[in-house]
Amino acid sequence: MKPESLPAPATSAEREWVEGELVRSLMRTQRSTQWLALLLVAMVVGILSDDNEPERLIAWVVVWVAVAAWRLWVIQEYRTQVMGQPTQAHLAFFRRRLWVWPVSALVWGLTTELYFDRSPLGDQYICWLIMAGLAMFSINSLSARLGVMRAYLDILAGTSLAVMAWRMVVELQLQGPVYHWWVALLLVIFWQVLRIAGERLHETLRRNFELQYRNMQLIESLTRQTQAALDAVEIKNRFLASAAHDIRQPVHALGLYADWLRGEPELVNELAPKIVAATKAVNHLFDSLFDLARLDSGKVRLNVEAVDLAKLLRSLELQYRPLCQAKGLALRMHVCPGTVRSDPILLQRVVGNLISNAVKYTQKGGVLVASRCTPAGMRIEIWDTGAGIAPAHQREIFREFYKVPGHSGTEEGFGLGLYIVARLTHILGHPLTLRSRVGRGTVFRLQLQPTDAHEASERASAAMAQLYPEHEEATGP
């Protein structure tokens, strides 16, 4: 067999499931075996009623009925209490009750005392046929659990051989007919043949259940992959619709302003700021797309170094103060000097997106950007007096392309800003928390725990593998 054709090693989950199915397979056959056993008892009693003292035969029947009642109670307990339970419950139940089958074998083995060398040869022959049929039937009904099947056959054959040995050696003192020895030899051979057949049948059952489990896992995997593909198509369609809508507006505005300016050049001072604003809107949209493309392609490059927090926030103030002034908002800065270990470009992108988001959704009041020294390290906070975010949306806003329904400001952008923030803060190892009250405003807190370059790269790779499992398989060891 070629190495690539070898079956994959079974996992613990697979082994547990297979063992549970073997227990279920065995228990499904037990009620029908009770009726067969009752028929065989009636045959044995009918055949041996003239060859034995009634007390001996009645004693054996009473013992058999007691064991049969115990076995029936076990079957009923399984059906009412265990059948619908998880696999562990099936295995635990079977471990507690497995001795009912070896005890049944002991009772049947004792029938040898009723007919061996005590009945006519014809009756003995029929009883031996009954015992052989019972043993062969046991490998079909019990082979699902190899240990139980072996115990049943061993006790059945061992009890019969012990009774025969007592009769031949102790009672007859080796003076009995020669055929006794041939019967004993045939019994030993038949016993071993049945053990081998039962083991092979058990292996067949086990392989069948292993294949069934792996087929189920394959179907489940294919179902997940199909659903993931459908979700990806849905996201792509939603993205294309959103992109077409969001890009068309500023581009259309640029076209209108250009035509207007061509017809009335004297309005250049009035139209130029609008053209600049529309151009910035287009650039912002494309910046979001480029950030998303880098994240989803796994091409994020990390350059972890000491970052001067005051310098970074002052740079962002210069960038966003004109935007706040244009909307009539106050931008306040509260800067606590300090340095942190992070990627300066990615950190600036994160804080910039949070400030941009705050400005976008704030119509009156203002935005506060603060850096604070805390026992856990430096922290950046972005406060706004905007519309606030309802609790139902506070987890959803970090999803790709998500826009809070009814929020003013959602008509601009793709809904990627906070998604990109969440991805970058996870990679950098800077926990981000959110508190918001509808109608009162929102605060984002970014805890600037030191970034470890190696761990950050691993987090980036893990995020990539989670989005695209096939990428991890293709590039794995």
Region 448-463: mean pLDDT is: 73
CA angle 190, 194, 199 (to 5 degrees): 155
Residue 476, pLDDT > 50, answer: no
Q: Give pLDDT, residue 1.
A: 40
pLDDT at 299 over 80: no
Q: What is the pLDDT of residue 367?
A: 93
The rounded mean pLDDT for the chain is: 81
pLDDT per residue as tens digits for the range 11-50 = 788 888 888 888 888 888 887 787 888 888 888 888 888 8
Where do the H-state alpha helices sit in 119-178?
121-142, 146-165
Instruction: Specify the DSSP class assigned to residue 450.
Output: P
Taking residues 333-356, what's their average pLDDT?
86
Q: Which bin fits 329, alpha (ψ -120 to 50), beta or left (φ > 0)?
A: beta
Which residues lie across from 297 on neighbouring strands? none
Picking from 416, 278, 283, the residue whose alpha carbon sits closest to that of residue 357 is 416
> In this structure, how many other beta carbons lie within 10 angstroms of the beta carbon of residue 243?
15
DSSP 35: H
Helix pair 309-326, 344-360: axis angle to 10 deg? 30
pLDDT digits (tens, 9 = 90+) for 135-190: 898 888 888 899 999 999 999 999 999 999 999 999 888 888 898 999 999 999 99
Q: What percent of the chain has pLDDT over 90?
A: 24
pLDDT of 297 > 60? The answer is: no
d(CA 144, CA 340): 63
The 10s digit of each residue's pLDDT in 53-91 is 888 889 999 999 999 899 889 988 888 888 888 888 888
Q: What is the DSSP string of 281-336?
A: HHHHHHHHHHHHHHHHHT-PPP--EEEEHHHHHHHHHHHHHHHHHHTT-EEEEE--
d(CA 76, CA 30): 10
Does the pTM exceed 0.85?
no
Provide the token pair at 299: 């091409």
**What percent of the chain is modeled with pLDDT above 70?**
80
Q: Using 50, 70 and 90 to split pLDDT, how confident is the model at 5?
A: very low
pLDDT score of 195? 93
Instruction: Take residue 225 and report the two structure tokens written for it.
Output: 């992959």
The predicted structure's pLDDT at residue 453: 72
